[in-house]
């Protein structure tokens, strides 16, 4: 089955299997409840969809309710994510579309483009291996290092850090991408962590700029330490 065939047979399947893939990638397991939170639907809706995906041969579910992807489901999810990331890259890097809006636009288009156009787009864009938000393409040889970066919440005042990525989960948090976009908190940005209060943390930039981040955002911003 191709991505286009899947979209015709089950229009919401692309979102489900790609989110299952991402949840497993970041958390090692995927429960009904976590999938429902990611997608923003009820657990009962997830149960119904998981059952249909299983009949299509794309998912399995164990006796504890943990959802996994079959080999075919994994292949399709990776193809969908590659489309999504390439579309984001095209919009942001080539067309100048706002960084914080590209995710939603790519979601609308990811299961609409052909494999031929996908290959052409990948070649024309220079075979990128990370989306504009820093998340690795499936098959990126640096995936393990990128995905092992720790959340900003695990660092302390005075630590010097480099932003690695905004997680896919974080991209779904209301206002997070826009706040990061406005304040230029993007992959490869360098900061020193400043004061931290009960509600926010201050980042100090190289050019004497300061960025204030709400604490509810920072675990979704993955960073790595930088030697002073």
Residue 175 CA: distances (Å) to CA of 8, 56, 68, 101, 128: 32, 35, 30, 11, 26
How sure is the predictor about 74, in pLDDT bands with cuts at 50, 70 and 90? very high
Contacts by 104-111, CB closer than 8 A, 24 or more apart: 107/15, 109/83, 110/14, 110/18, 110/80, 110/83, 110/84, 111/3, 111/4, 111/6, 111/7, 111/14, 111/80, 111/83
DSSP designation for 173:
S
pLDDT at 27 over 70: yes
Confidence of residue 219 (pLDDT cuts 50, 70, 90): very high
pLDDT surpasses 90 at 90: yes
Gap between the Cα atoms of 51 and 58, Å rounded: 10
* Residue 136 confidence (pLDDT): 96
- Is a pLDDT exceeding 90 seen at residue 132? yes
Rounded average pLDDT over 140-158: 94
Res 203: pLDDT: 96
38-47, 114-123, 181-190: least confidently modelled range? 38-47
pLDDT at 228 over 80: no
State the residue for tokens 């709400």: 214
pLDDT per position as a tens digit, 31-61: 988 898 888 888 888 888 888 899 889 999 8
CA 39 to chain centre: 13
Q: Which two tokens stand for residue 96?
A: 């100048």
- For residue 208, pLDDT beyond 90: no
Cα–Cα distance between 217 and 170 in angstroms, integer? 7
Structure-block tokens of residue 13: 């399947």
Lowest pLDDT segment from 69-78, 109-118, 215-224: 109-118
Determine the average pLDDT of the residues in 52-81: 91
CA atoms within 13 A on the CB side of 220: 21
For residue 11, what pLDDT is reported?
83
Output DSSP code: residue 94.
I
Whole-angstrom distance, CA of residue 146 vs CA of residue 148: 6
Spatial strand order of the sheet with 150-151 comes to 150-151, 221-225, 160-166, 190-196, 200-204, 210-214
Quick check: 126 pLDDT over 80?
A: yes
Least confident of 32-36, 74-78, 136-140, 213-217: 32-36
Contact (Cβ atoms closer than 8 angstroms) between residue 60 and residue 68: yes
Q: Reduce the secondary structure of 61-72 to three states and give it as a string.
A: ECCCCCEEECHH
Q: What mean pLDDT is predicted for residues 149-175?
A: 94
Does 103 score more than 70 pLDDT?
A: yes
What pLDDT, on a 0 to 100 scale, did the predictor assign at position 93?
92
Mean pLDDT to the nearest integer, 148-173: 94
Give me the helices (H) in 56-175, please: 71-89, 102-109, 115-124, 143-147, 168-171
pTM of full prediction above 0.75 = yes
């Amino acid at each position: 089955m191709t991505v286009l065939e899947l979209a015709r047979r089950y229009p919401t399947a692309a979102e489900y299997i790609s989110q299952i893939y991402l949840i497993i990638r970041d958390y090692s397991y995927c429960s009904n409840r976590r999938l429902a939170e990611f997608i923003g639907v009820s657990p009962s809706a997830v149960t119904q969809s998981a059952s249909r995906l299983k009949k299509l041969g794309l998912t399995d579910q164990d006796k504890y309710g943990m959802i996994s992807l079959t080999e075919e489901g994994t292949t399709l999810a990776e193809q969908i994510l590659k489309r999504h990331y390439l579309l984001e890259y095209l919009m942001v890097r080539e067309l100048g579309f706002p960084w914080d809006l590209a995710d939603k636009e790519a979601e609308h288009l990811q299961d609409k483009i052909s494999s031929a156009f996908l290959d052409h787009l990948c070649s024309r864009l220079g075979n990128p291996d990370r989306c504009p938000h820093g998340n690795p393409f499936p098959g990126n040889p640096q995936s393990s290092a990128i995905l092992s970066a720790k959340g900003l919440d695990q660092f302390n005042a005075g630590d010097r850090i480099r932003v690695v990525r905004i997680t896919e989960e974080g991209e779904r948090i209301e206002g997070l991408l826009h706040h990061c976009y406005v304040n230029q908190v993007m992959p490869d940005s360098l900061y020193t962590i400043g004061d931290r209060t009960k509600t926010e943390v201050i980042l100090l930039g190289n050019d004497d700029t300061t960025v204030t981040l709400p604490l509810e955002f920072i675990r979704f911003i993955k960073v790595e330490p930088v030697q002073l």
